[in-house]
Structure 1
Amino acid sequence: MAEKKAKKITKKPLKKAPAKKAPAKKVAIKKTPVKKALKKNTKKVVKTNTVANDKSKIAPYKPKKNEKYMSAAMKKHFIAVLLLWKEHLKEEMQKTFDHLRAKGETYADPIDRASQEEEFAFELRTRDRERKLINKIAISIEQIKQDEYGWCESCGDEIGIKRLEARPTATHCIDCKTLDEIKEKQLSG
C-alpha cells in the first residue's frame, strides 16, 4: 500500500489588500444660475394701452332700456373717459420729460452712450404717438359738443357703445373700419 504522505500545507500569510474605502457620498450640489451683469441703462416698459389702465377708474357705460343713442348721459360718460385718458397721457409725457432731463448725463463709453440714446429715442417716439392721441381726444371732445360723436364718418351709422368703450377716439363703425383695413391690405400687397 502506498503510503500517502501527508503533505503539510502551510498557510502562507496572505498579503492584505489595502482596505477599501467606502465611496464618497454624493452631495447634491445646487446649481445656481449664472447671473448676467445688469446693464446700467435698462429699458423702461411703456404701457401703450392707456385706455385699459384708465377704464378701471370709470365703469363701462350701460345704456338704460329704450335710451336713445348718444343721450346726454352717454355724452357725459364719454367726456369723462376722454378727459381722464387725456390727463393720464399728459402725466406720462411729463414723467418722460422729467426722466430725460434727470438722465441727461453723458457717458464716456460709446456703448453706454448709444444705449442711452436708443432709450431716449424710444421714449420720444412713444410720447410723439401719445401727443397725436391727445389731439384725437381733443377732436373727439369737440365732436361730442357738436353732437357728431359716436357716428361713423363713412356710412353715418352708430359706431356702437362697445367699440367706443374700447377705442373712445374711433371715427368709423366696425364694418367700415374692417373694409378700410382690407382695402389697405390689398393696396400694400
Structure 2
Amino acid sequence: MATALSAGEPGDDPLLRPPVLTDTDYRPSPDEPFMNDRQVAYFRAKLNAWKDSILKESRDTLNQLQNDSLREPDVTDRASSETDWSIELRTRDRQRKLISKIDAAIRRIAEGEYGYCEVTGEPISLARLEARPIATMTVEAQERHEKQEKVSRDE
C-alpha cells in the first residue's frame, strides 16, 4: 500500500504526532502579537515534550528488544515477530528523522526565526503550527513546493 507521506512526516501515525499538552490554561491566539514571548515558550515546550516522548518510546523499544528474544519454536510465530519488529524499527527510524526536524525547529526558536515561512517570510498560521510545530512554510508555500516537486519527479 503506497502512501503520500515521505519519511519522517507525522501523517496518521499516532506515534509520530506531536503530543497534546496538558496545560489547558494557554493556547496561542491570533488576537495577540505573533510569536510573542508566551507563544514562543508554548511552542518550545510543545516541541520539547514531543521530542521527549519520542526518545522515551525509543528507549522502551530498545529495552524491549534487549529483553525479548525471537526464539519462538514455531517458524510462523518467529516470522510474525520478526515482521512486527521490522515495522517497529522502521517507525523508530522515521522518529529519528523527526527528532532532527524538531531540533531544527528549536534552533529556529533560539534564532528568532520560528513561525515564519522560510520561503516568503510570512507568519505561518497558528493553526498550522499547532498541528505541525515543525512546519517551515505556510500552507500556500508548502503546496507550491509540493507541486514543483511532483513536476520535477514526473520529468
Is TM > 0.5 for Structure 1 vs Structure 2? yes
The percentage of aligned residue pairs carrying the same residue is: 35
Rate the CA distance shift 1:179–1:58 in 2: closer, same or farther, 3 A.
farther
Cα distance change on mapping 1:179 and 1:151 into 2, 3 Å? same
User: Given the two structures, how large is their TM-score scaled by the length of structure 1?
Assistant: 0.68
Q: 2: distance between equivalents of 1:61 and 1:99?
A: 36
Q: 2:77 maps to which residue?
A: 112
Which residue of the other structure, out of 162, 167, 176, is the alignment partner of 2:127?
162
Greater than 3 Å deviation, 4+ residue runs: none
Instruction: State the AA in 1 paired with 2:82.
Output: E
SS at match of 1:87: helix
3-state DSSP of counterpart to 1:48: helix
RMSD: 1.9
Aligned partner of 1:121 in structure 2 is: 86
Q: Which amino acid is the alignment partner of residue 91 of structure 1?
A: K
Can you give the 5+ residue segments of structure 1 that lack an aligned partner in the other structure?
Answer: 1-45
* Number of equivalent positions: 141
Alpha-carbon distance in 2 for matches of 1:135, 1:123: 19
Q: Equivalent residues in 2 for 1:12-91 (5 A)?
A: 47-51=14-18, 54-59=19-24, 61-63=27-29, 65=31, 67-91=32-56
Alpha-carbon shift at residue 77 of structure 1 (Å): 0.7
Q: Which residue number in structure 1 is paired with residue 115 of structure 2?
A: 150
1-side partners of 2:114 and 2:91: how far apart?
27
Larger radius of gyration: 1
More helix by percentage = 2
5+ long unaligned stretches in structure 2: 1-12
Q: Point out which structure has higher relative CO (alpha carbons under 8 A, 6+ apart).
A: 2
Q: Within 2, Cα distance between the matches of 1:116 and 1:55?
A: 31
**97, 104, 112: which one aligns with 2:62:** 97
